[in-house]
Amino acid sequence: MRWILLICVLISVIDADAQRMYNGRKDKLPDNRFRFGAIGGTLVGQIDGDYYLGFYKWGWYGGLKGEAIINKTFSLETNLAFVESGSQFEPWPIEDPLDTRPDRSINLYYVEIPVICKIRWPIGKWNAGLELGMSFMTLFNSKVVEDDISRRYLVYTELQEDFDSSMQSILLGAEMQYERFSVSLRLNNALKPFYRNENFTNLYDYENGRYAIEKMRAYYISLVGAYTLFGDFSDRK
């Protein structure tokens, strides 16, 4: 709830500053400066700490968005989204050097509220844009998939009870917009680990997985489409 209040305060402050900035000018802010819509897309996730390189975990991203127009260049957007992220990887040490397929996974399910500052400029009939923001995420479920062979080595299942339910991340993105449609390519990079082991010994203490894993930090790359359901675009004509 405190993050929702913070977002409302930020929008109010920026809105008041924008009104003062445009007071008395010809290019005043449009009458309808708020837009609401739906978002949806896919992502690939990775976790630092699973001892496996590459983005192999596919997930989904979906929810609602709200946007406050500051002027024809700047806007402030927030989303209420459900996110499936995590990692898909090969056990360590590898039990079969000839088969390195990532056959177990950590699935993380979040509710995400990003606060995004957008800068746009016209390119023909399109608007190109850059995105910079902070994302606040709450873990509401997790699932670790590992078979009996995997569990002979590092065991991740038993670590779930110590996953941090709160996560903050930096968001960077690029956007293309055409009227009510837009698509964004985004990187979410967590600022802190969602799992940290204060009793870490060493990587090869895999007979006790709880001590062989020092920390895990999540990040993902998403491709998100959006459609504005309410709000006009008269200020861009």
Helix or strand (DSSP H, E) at 62: strand 57-69
d(CA 75, CA 33): 9
pLDDT for residue 49: 77
Task: Give pLDDT, residue 201.
Answer: 58
Q: 110 pLDDT exceeds 60?
A: yes
Every domain of the chain and the residues it spans? 2-236
Tokens, residue 93: 């040490």
- CATH class name, domain 2-236: mainly beta
Q: What is the pLDDT of residue 160?
A: 87
pLDDT in tens, 145-194: 877 665 556 677 878 888 999 999 999 999 999 989 999 999 999 999 99
SS3 (DSSP) at 155? coil
Burial 171-206 (b: 16+ CB within 10 A, else e): bebebebeeeebebebebebeebbbebeeeeeeeeb
